[in-house]
Structures are given as C-alpha cells and as structure tokens.
Amino acid sequence: MAVYDGNKAAQEHLLQIAKACILAAAKAPTLTHRLRLRTEIITDEDIEPLLDILETLGETSSFQLHDAVAFRRLAKEGRMPPILLLGADLTQPALWDCGACGFATCGEYVQYTQRNKGVGVGGYGPSCVWKAIDFGIACDWACACVAQHKVESRILFSMGALALLTGRLEGSSYILGMPIGPVGRNLWFDREAWNDVLSFDQRMNIQMAGGACLSMAFSGGGNPILKTKPRWWEEPTFMKVEQDESFTAKEAEGLAKAYEKIMTQAGVLDDEK
C-alpha cells in the first residue's frame, strides 16, 4: 500500500496522456492517407535549450515572450509539462494534379520545389495543400485526445518552429509543439505568469501591438487612431508609419543571438565557441 501526492501523481501521468495523443493523431482520418506523421515527446532538461532560445527571441518579440514567460514559471515551480512535437513533410504532393497549389500538375510543382524549396518563418515550403490539411486534422485529433482527458494544453507554433530549426523530427518541413499540461486550467490562455514580470499597462500595450489591425478605430477620417488605452478617444494616439532604426538594430542583434543558439543546438556551431 502507498499514499501518493495527488498533484505529483497527476503531473507524472501527463506523459501517458502525451503518448495517447500520438495514438489519436496516428489514427486521424486524413484525406490523402499518405501523410507520414512524425512525433516526439520532450521532457525536463531536453526542453531547456528550446526555452533558452525562446527567451532570447522574447527580448524583441512579444509573441515569443508570451510563451517563454509561461514556460519559465513552470520550470521554476517544477511543473514543466511534457511537450509533444508533431511534424510532417508537407512539401511532398498528393499526386492528384488538383492545381490547388497554383501549378497545373504535381510534376510541375515538384520541379519548382526541387529548385526553390526555402525556409519560411518557422517551416519549409512550398507545401501541398492536401498534406497541410491532413497535418491539421492529425493535430486536431491530438488536441481532442487531450480534451477527452480533461487536461490543459494548447498548440504552440513557437516551440514547433524551434524544434524544426534545431534539427528535431528529421525530414519534417513543419512542426507544431503541444505542451501536455500542467495540472490546472487555462494556463495557456490566461497566462497568469505575465503578472510576475509585466505591469497591466505593459501587458495591454503588448497585446494591442501584437494585433494592431484589431485595435484601431475607424480609419475613414484618413488619420487612423490606435486604441492604446481604456479611454482611447481622450487624447487619441494616431498611427504614423516610419522607420524605427533603434528597434531594427535591437531586433537584428536579438535574432543574431537566437540563431547562434539555434545553430549550436543543431550542431552547426561548436558550443565552446
């Protein structure tokens, strides 16, 4: 007989749920039946290198900061959830000659991609439309599995992109990350960890800056107003388009630091450099 700490036992069970999510994603009713899904579960110290890069990117990007702050708080609390990585090579066509990619035939598409396959923000392309749909379905089934277990989770582009850039799930052109847990609710949507590092005004401005088109008053007057504060119509803030050389320099420096870490993790650079 034994007595278990409930929260600790539940946290340890998250790994089993991550495995169940892989089973669900593999069983997803895809359209082409030709998607080769690649999966991996990373835990504990194997997450730290990705989190380190994410924090570096967060120095100049509120998008990455959003995730980095949440993960760092969980690490400090000893509640880091396992992260399920879901990836696939979406550049391989379904061979249906459907034309959805913009090419008349899959042969023309392949000829183009062999010469022009490139890196996007966090994935390689171009992609076959049908394979992209199939990948989305597989990820949806993984999400449904988590929901059926009543566990907190959220698909994250950030962790998936870093996993791809550091060489995980070899052969994949696109990866998404999915933290399974931690025990609790709404962590990946409420982001209460922000309260520890940012003031209310800072959080509000970051959210608005991250979706400026959703934070504008009607621009028919020709001088667009940004809703930068609760009573935005008092002393309005007008949008002005101009170059920000100081931010551009800071962003370039931050990206250089991040990509040095990415190349080190991927084995391109010597970590003793």
pLDDT of residue 203: 76
pLDDT of residue 219: 65
d(CA 273, CA 267): 12
Whether 230 has a pLDDT exceeding 80, the answer reads no
Least confident piece of the model among 30-44, 80-94, 155-169, 181-195 = 181-195
**Alpha carbon separation from 63 to 57, 60, 198, 252 (Å, rounded):** 9, 9, 14, 16
Q: Where are the domains of the chain?
A: 6-198, 202-241
pLDDT of residue 236: 86
User: Mean pLDDT, to the nearest integer, of 129-134?
Assistant: 96
Three-class DSSP category at 203: helix
* Chain centroid offset of residue 237 CA: 31
Phi-psi region of 169 (alpha: psi -120 to 50; beta: other; left: phi over 0): left
Q: What CATH architecture does domain 6-198 belong to?
A: 3-Layer(aba) Sandwich (3.40)
Q: CB–CB of 22/178 below 8 Å? A: no
Burial 212-237 (b: 16+ CB within 10 A, else e): eeebebeeeeeebbbbbeeebeeeee
Whether 163 has a pLDDT exceeding 90, the answer reads yes
Q: CB–CB of 158/177 below 8 Å? A: yes
Three-class DSSP category at 218: coil
At 30, the pLDDT band (50, 70, 90 cuts) reads very high
d(CA 211, CA 180): 27
Whether 269 has a pLDDT exceeding 80, the answer reads no
Element containing residue 188 per DSSP (H, E): helix 187-190
Q: CB–CB of 21/146 below 8 Å? A: yes
